[in-house]
Amino acid sequence: MRLPLLLLLAAALSAVEEGPFPVLRVTDGDSIVIQREGKEERVRLLYVDTPECSDNAHGQCMPEGKAASEMLRKILPVGTEVTLWGPAATLGRDRYDRLLATVTVNASRQAAHPVELQSVANSLIAQGHSVYWRKYGDAAEPLHSLLAKWQEVAEQEKAGAWATAPDWMRDKANERTAPKAEK
């Protein structure tokens, strides 16, 4: 059984869906490692950015980052089958060579979640562990509207990091990649 949400998203002519793949580990609040084509593959969750859980070039460790990592481990325990979805014909990569994808939990675990929570991004944003991060562009509809609404509700209710790091969350929510100049 395919995800209704992904079917709507995949309606875009250029979208790609791959999987299922088993989760090998969660590396932080917005990255996982899966088994793909016999190899370990790092995946950066699209539309999600969580506070750092270790000191690195992106910033210092924040307690909210550790909480986000723990939540992602609960959502995606080792062995969970996930599907990757991307808005283009192939999955993109970031500057660290991680796949950029919307991650969803496969059918065996979906029954416990309403359709709008089947995307891992929805869960993290709704619980205040992440912002709707549009550095790599806006999500296609209906996911865009869902993510924006979940973020609005989480902020209003001061869920998760919205209660303890609201300035960081607002800064990240407003972060965008500058459009490429026309040649």
Give a yes or no: residue 45 inside a domain: yes
User: Which CATH number goes with the domain that contains 114?
Assistant: 2.40.50.90
Give a yes or no: residue 183 inside a domain: no
Q: What is the per-residue pLDDT for 131?
A: 95
Give a yes or no: residue 165 inside a domain: yes
Give a yes or no: residue 180 inside a domain: no
Q: State which residues form the domain around 169.
A: 4-173
Helical H runs in 4-142?
A: 4-9, 63-75, 107-110, 120-126
Give a yes or no: residue 178 inside a domain: no
What's the domain count of the chain?
1
Give a yes or no: residue 157 inside a domain: yes
Could you read off the pLDDT tens digit of each residue along the chain, which spans 183 residues? 344 444 444 444 468 889 999 999 999 999 999 999 999 999 999 999 998 776 555 566 788 999 999 999 999 999 999 999 888 889 999 999 999 999 998 754 444 543 344 789 999 999 999 999 998 888 888 888 999 999 999 999 999 999 999 999 999 898 876 455 454
Give a yes or no: residue 33 inside a domain: yes
Helical H runs in 50-135?
A: 63-75, 107-110, 120-126
Give a yes or no: residue 24 inside a domain: yes
Count CB neighbours of 140 within 10 A: 16
